[in-house]
Amino acid sequence: MSSPIYNLAFDFGASSGRLILSKFDGRKIELEEIHRFTNNPVRVGKNIYWDTFRLYHELKVGLKKAAAKKLNITSLAIDTWGVDYGFIDKEGNLIGNPVNYRDDRTIGVIDEIDKIVPLKEVYASTGIQFMNFNTLFQFYADKKMRPSVYENAYKFLAMPDLFNYFLTGKMFNEYTIASTGQLLDAKKRFWDIDLLKRLGLKTDLFCELIKPGTIVGDLIDEVAKETGIESVKVIAVGSHDTASAVAGTPFEEENAAFLSCGTWSLLGMEIDEPVLNEESYQYNYTNEGGVEGKIRLLKNINGLWIMQNLRKDWCEFEGEVSFPDIIKASREAKRKDFIIDPNDQRFSAPYSMMKEVISYCEEHSQGTPQGLGEIAMAIYNGLTHEYKNAVAKLEVITGKTIPCINMVGGGIQDQLLCELTANATGKKVIAGPIEGSVLGNIVMQLKAIGVIESLDEGRKIIKDSFEQKVHLPM
């Protein structure tokens, strides 16, 4: 390769976003963070919204910083958290601010839908786990509680599709993010029109369904002029951040599990076809679309969101504390047996996470956690206990023995979490790379522009470019 290839990856998580510059020299990838910003949901009355236009502003700030480097940037792509979306009207305008998935308007919707279409039938068709914030359930809630918004909607755009629309002026729906929302037939891998009709939902909201690795087009003139970025191809990758995280996981062993650690913990396996058996239904496992035709069979577990909010509370009420401080306090805690259920609804969007963790332990006859370390250990134990259960059930569902767990994402910077995961599951943990979503985003860009031929090639490049650390169970 005569000169390096430069690409941009926008990775929007549920609590922060980054713009990463990738440099590929033909053998290894180097990453440089150009721009980082917070993603703060906004409460208005009883509802919680995303500050969408500020996020778009930050996206353009990142592009300006990239342009200032005066590099020959080939392409860019966006991945975001799942299930949330915006509605576009017939004039092409966004109707209001997208609602945050932690909003409580969908509470009770699953039971209502079960009375119309039995949940077992919904699962047999979509293969998606039942979580009250799934896009399908949000649609149902919007029809009921925001009818003026829903009825005036012309097109549906999931969050990465929406940002791509702002950049290119083109409307489309990317496959992995559509799948995540419970909108697709798992076997046909296309819109589940029959299910939508049975639920009385609109069937004309959808755009062309495109696969990861599709070149969408160029920046609109206004964005190119404002940011100074020109001649850059916009590419649809695995637009759901978990799809990109799995794409960026350099698996070494057959039947290895992945664990993407961020605001959410996503634990599963990459498989060829959806698993729609009785066990996967009863255990509430999800079959989400992946890149290169793969399926991500996984379990959603509330993740570092709980620890992030514990830190936020501690800083507000007790004094400044860092994540390394939390880890140190946890290792030094006198009692290490406190435990919570991280999937309990009370930990979804509490006003005080610290008080909720303490109350949970007291209500479950564990006593009162004393100090930061004991409170944090309740969270660590809750998370790793769920990881243990998720791995065991995954083995039952697939009939396969999982030899190891590949952990990726920001959470792997927490060595204690990695150690406790290995100990709880009894599995070897291979931690790395940290930037799983970004790297999955990048390698699919490289494939789309013809620099590499396959995801397997991309994963080998990732393995050769970034360090991994092995944690053995004790």
436/426 Cα distance (integer angstroms): 23
- Say whether pLDDT at 467 is over 90: yes
Which two tokens mark 117?
């279409």
113 with 45: CB under 8 angstroms? Answer: no
Query: Domain boundaries in the chain?
Result: 5-236, 251-431
- At residue 111, φ and ψ (nearest 5 deg) are -65, -40
Q: What sign does the CA torsion over 237, 195, 111, 145 have?
A: positive
5-236: in CATH 3.30.420.40:
yes
Catalytic entry in 84, 161, 241, 414: 241
Q: Which pairing describes strands 428-431 and 295-302: parallel, antiparallel, or unpaired?
A: unpaired
394/301 Cα distance (integer angstroms): 14
The residues pairing with 471 across neighbouring beta strands, listed in sequence order, are 429
459 with 446: CB under 8 angstroms? Answer: no
Going by C-alpha positions, the residue among 245, 237, 232 that lies closest to residue 448 is 237
- Give the pLDDT score at 238: 99
374 Cβ contact partners less than 8 Å away, ≥ 6 residues apart: 333, 334, 335, 336, 338
Per-residue pLDDT averaged across 296-300, rounded? Answer: 97
Going by C-alpha positions, the residue among 18, 165, 187 that lies closest to residue 87 is 165
365 Cβ contact partners less than 8 Å away, ≥ 6 residues apart: none
- Give the pLDDT score at 172: 99
Per residue in 88-145, pLDDT (tens digit) is: 999 999 999 999 999 999 999 999 999 999 999 999 999 999 999 999 999 999 999 9
CA 35 to chain centre: 19
27/45 Cα distance (integer angstroms): 52
The CATH T-level fold of domain 251-431 is: Nucleotidyltransferase; domain 5 (3.30.420)
Task: Place 470 in a pLDDT band, splitting at 50, 70 and 90.
Answer: very high
- Give the pLDDT score at 140: 99
300 with 101: CB under 8 angstroms? Answer: no
Per residue in 269-288, pLDDT (tens digit) is: 999 999 999 999 999 999 99
Rg (CA), the chain: 22
Going by C-alpha positions, the residue among 243, 231, 218, 126 that lies closest to residue 168 is 218
- Give the pLDDT score at 61: 99
- Give the pLDDT score at 68: 98
382 with 340: CB under 8 angstroms? Answer: yes
156 with 85: CB under 8 angstroms? Answer: yes
Q: Same CATH fold, 251-431 and 5-236?
A: yes
296/289 Cα distance (integer angstroms): 6
296 with 242: CB under 8 angstroms? Answer: yes
297 with 128: CB under 8 angstroms? Answer: no
- Give the pLDDT score at 31: 99
Per residue in 369-428, pLDDT (tens digit) is: 999 999 999 999 999 999 999 999 999 999 999 999 999 999 999 999 999 999 999 999
395 with 417: CB under 8 angstroms? Answer: no
The mean pLDDT of the chain is 97
Alpha carbon dihedral 140, 143, 149, 154, in 10-degree steps, equals: 70
Active-site residue flag, 241 = yes
Question: At 65, which amino acid appears?
Answer: K
150/145 Cα distance (integer angstroms): 9
Task: Give the DSSP H/E element, type plus range, for residue 67.
Answer: helix 52-67
Which two tokens mark 404?
């190891």
Alpha helices in 188-301 (DSSP H): 193-198, 221-227, 241-247, 278-282
- Say whether pLDDT at 458 is over 80: yes
Q: Distance of CA 133 to CAs 85, 350, 454, Å?
A: 11, 16, 33
- Say whether pLDDT at 241 is over 80: yes
- Say whether pLDDT at 267 is over 90: yes
Per residue in 218-240, pLDDT (tens digit) is: 999 999 999 999 889 999 999 99
Per residue in 363-379, pLDDT (tens digit) is: 999 999 999 999 999 99
Start-to-end C-alpha separation, the chain: 45
CA 255 to chain centre: 22
Per residue in 327-366, pLDDT (tens digit) is: 999 999 999 999 999 999 999 989 999 999 999 999 999 9
- Give the pLDDT score at 359: 98
Cα–Cα–Cα angle for 434, 437, 441, rounded to 5 degrees: 130
- Give the pLDDT score at 230: 84
387/473 Cα distance (integer angstroms): 14
Which two tokens mark 280?
């996967």
- Give the pLDDT score at 252: 87
- Say whether pLDDT at 2 is over 90: no
Per residue in 168-193, pLDDT (tens digit) is: 999 999 999 999 999 999 999 999 99
